[in-house]
Amino acid sequence: MLDPADNLELPPIPGKRYFTIGEVSDLCAVKPHVLRYWEQEFPQLKPVKRRGNRRYYQRHDVVLIRQIRNLLYVEGFTISGARNKLELDNPAPPDANRSQAVKTLLRDLGDVMDLLEDP
């Protein structure tokens, strides 16, 4: 399988930290509504959402989208087959959700402590 980050038919991924859905759409040759649908179908695809529910994708998201695109459009996988293939190739650690929840909780607690320390 070709490295999706170096897919010859797609433009190179710029060295930015965040990409809008329009930029990702252009970089991956996939329409924005398809990207939104894939977010529902592939649990690994979780762009950061900021004010107004705007999506901001990171480089690893763009690489993942290119992998998904390759599996679906080039290799002919179904959505469910592509999801299974990605899970087999990149298994999530068993405590991934728990560790993320703990990190979020610790950050929130730090924010509360900062508020309480300010007179």
Cβ-based neighbours of 95, under 8 Å, separated by 6 or more:
none
pLDDT at 96: 62
d(CA 41, CA 81): 11
**Domains in the chain, start-ordered, CATH in brackets?**
4-94 (1.10.1660.10)
The pLDDT value recorded for residue 113 is 80
Beta strand 54-56 with 48-50: parallel, antiparallel or unpaired? antiparallel
Q: Are 81 and 20 in contact (CB under 8 A)?
A: no
Query: Against a cut of 0.85, is the pTM above it?
Result: no
Q: What are the DSSP E strand ranges found in 1-119?
A: 48-50, 54-56
Instruction: Return the exposure string of 9-18: e unless at least 16 CB atoms fall within 10 Å of the residue's CB, then b.
Output: ebeebeeeee
Residues of the chain where predicted confidence (pLDDT) is lower than 70 = 1-8, 91-97, 118-119
